[in-house]
Amino acid sequence: MKIIVDYDRCEANAICMKVCPEVFEVRDDDNLYLSTETPDESLRAKVMEAVRRCPRQAISVKD
Amino acid sequence: MQLSDVDLYNAENWVEGVPHEAFRLLREQAPVFWQEVPEADGKGFYAITKYEDLVAISKDPSTYSSWRGSTMIRDLPKEDLENTRTIMLNMDPPQHSKYRKLVSQGFTPRMTAALEPKIRKTTAEILDRVTPLGQCDFVRDIAAELPLIVIAELVGVPLEDRHKVFEWSNKLIGFDDPEFGNTEEVGKLAAAEIWMYANQLAEQRRKDPRDDLVSVLMMGEVDGEKLSEVDFDSFFLLLAVAGNETTRNLISGGMRALLEHPAEWKRLKDDPSLLNPAVEEMLRWVSPVNHFRRTVTRDTELRGQKLREGDKVVIWYPSANRDEDVFPNPMHFDVGRTPNNHVAFGIGEHFCLGANLARLEIRAIFDEVIRRMPDLEFAGPVRRLRSNFINGIKEMPVRFTPSPAVAA
């Protein structure tokens, strides 16, 4: 699983960070940072929820 | 009530409140429902009432276009349609993405948080003007004031002009309500007045740039070109109206919901840590924007219903926000509801740019009201806006034990 972020779409709403803080972090500079682009499979459900709930459709996952 | 009784279009059916019984019936029996429209207003539409469908449509602008027929139900003559397409709300990607990027930097969480001290101070001053009186119109004296001041500050409208913007946005949005004019002409005139005002403001900022959104827009470029006059006016119109009306109605509607659910109102007052979930529940409950329209760009299918290119679909936010498949006990107002993934701000391409700002304003108001007007109660009938588009309240008289002003 590889996470792809469209930084042009991201508006730092930080919902991904609420859903899956293990991977997503929106810092004070309003930018999104990933702790890893290829998280462990055990986080799949949380990552997919972040994908679904991003209000801007900025996150996708490639297998 | 049965399906043949349902008419979502007729504003008369929205006078008493959002027609939740009709929506419940539609979600259960006809989630893709054909709704006729009077011939003068154009073709009928498919009413979409399930949460899942609203989300899917909002996330698929290439199939469900905001540009093709605009986002309003009424079909527009060609010239009006072209005018309305200069507003971001009625654009599709990739054009929409370019325009949105220009303004979105003004609305990030960091930019919004920077406004918090100003918003807190303004809120305290608004309450100072009413707490000594013991009674007021909650809509005009409290709910309308904060969004008006904040958006005026943000886009750079001088404070003394903000009530002009209030009157224009009332006329523009309230076209179905006799009190505000009831004709399209009045709306068009209001839009023209806003455009003229925007041009004057732009002219001033061009000469004398400041630290506000108007100045940012004046500097901004799309595809390497400076914004045209029309582009700028449309931005201004959208920000001025979207930032006002919706927040005002959410604050009034949220207060009304609390007063109509005294146990929940007491629960919130007893435990102010519930403020954040309470704000989300007010958003779900009120859903200030009732609908937006999309136009189908290619033949497709939704829940087995064939949709043809050119068909209209209308997505209904208050219905999605009470969808039994998503929200347990959806007709219960619960200030502690968690999770609460409502769609009051929409989702996807057109997700409300001001969501963070709106939340901040709502929190500021209720934080202050809870502390300073804990015994607030209705003092007269609530008067609703007659509209199938905006879930609005025009007047809500309230009374409370008077208390002195506190701000310096």
Which residues on adjacent β-strands are paired with residue B313? Answer: B46, B294
Cβ contact, residue pair A11, B108, below 8 Å: yes
CA B226 to chain centre: 29
Q: Is there a domain that residue B405 lies in?
A: no
Give the span between the Cα atoms of B372 and B267, in whole angstroms.
Answer: 16
Q: H or E stretch including B292?
A: strand B291-296
Cβ contact, residue pair B107, A11, below 8 Å: yes
Give the span between the Cα atoms of A11 and B310, in whole angstroms.
Answer: 32
Query: Which chain A residues contact residue B346 at CB under 8 A?
Result: 55
Q: Is there a domain that residue B406 lies in?
A: no
For residue B182, what pLDDT is reported?
59
Q: Is there a domain that residue B248 lies in?
A: yes
pLDDT tens digit sequence for A31-54: 999 999 999 999 999 999 999 999
Cβ contact, residue pair A12, B108, below 8 Å: yes
Cβ contact, residue pair B345, A55, below 8 Å: yes
Q: Is there a domain that residue B113 lies in?
A: yes
Cβ contact, residue pair B356, A13, below 8 Å: yes
Q: Which of B341, B349, B355 sits opposite A53 (nearest CB)?
A: B341
The range of the structural domain enclosing residue A37 comes to 2-62
Overall domain count for chain B = 1
CA distances from B242 to B127, B248, B329, B345, B393 (A): 24, 10, 30, 11, 16
Query: Which chain A residues contact residue B349 at CB under 8 A?
Result: 56-57
Tokens 């997505």 -> residue: B315
CA B373 to chain centre: 26
Cβ contact, residue pair B109, A57, below 8 Å: no
For residue B127, what pLDDT is reported?
97
Identify the CATH number of the domain in which residue A16 sits: 3.30.70.20
ipTM for the complex shown: 0.90
Q: Is there a domain that residue B328 lies in?
A: yes
Identify the CATH number of the domain in which residue B353 sits: 1.10.630.10
Handedness of CA B387, B85, B229, B157 (dihedral sign): positive
The range of the structural domain enclosing residue B289 comes to 3-399
Query: Which chain B residues contact residue A30 at CB under 8 A?
Result: 108-111
Q: Is there a domain that residue B404 lies in?
A: no
Mutate to test the interface with A, among B102, B340, B347 (most CBs of A within 10 A): B347
**From the CA of A34, how many Å to the nearest CA of chain B?**
18
**From the CA of B348, how many Å to the nearest CA of chain A?**
5
B286 contacts B391 by C-beta, under 8 angstroms: yes
Tokens 């029996």 -> residue: B29
Give the span between the Cα atoms of B199 and B337, in whole angstroms.
Answer: 45
Which residues on chain A place their C-beta less than 8 Å from a C-beta of chain B?
8-9, 11-14, 26, 28-30, 53, 55-57
For residue B238, what pLDDT is reported?
86
B342 contacts B285 by C-beta, under 8 angstroms: no
pLDDT tens digit sequence for A2-40: 999 999 999 999 999 999 999 999 998 889 999 999 999
Q: What is the mean pLDDT of each run of 10 residues along chain B (408 residues)?
A: 96 96 98 96 96 98 98 94 94 94 84 91 96 97 92 83 81 75 76 87 85 79 82 84 89 98 98 97 98 98 98 98 98 98 97 95 97 97 96 97 87
Query: Which chain A residues contact residue B351 at CB under 8 A?
Result: 11, 13, 55-56
Give the span between the Cα atoms of B123 and B369, in whole angstroms.
Answer: 9
Take residue B297 and report the two structure tokens written for it: 């760009």
Overall domain count for chain A = 1
For residue B181, what pLDDT is reported?
62
Query: Which chain B residues contact residue A53 at CB under 8 A?
Result: 341
Q: B351 to chain A: nearest residue by CA?
A: A55
Query: Which chain A residues contact residue B348 at CB under 8 A?
Result: 55-57
3-state secondary structure of B356: helix
Q: Where are the alpha helices (DSSP H) in B144-244?
A: 145-155, 162-173, 184-207, 213-219, 229-242
Q: Which of A12, A26, A56 sits opposite B351 (nearest CB)?
A: A56
Tokens 């829940």 -> residue: B303
For residue B408, what pLDDT is reported?
53
B292 contacts B285 by C-beta, under 8 angstroms: no
**From the CA of A9, how many Å to the nearest CA of chain B?**
8
Mark residue B223 as left, alpha or beta (left: phi above 0; alpha: psi -120 to 50; beta: remaining).
left
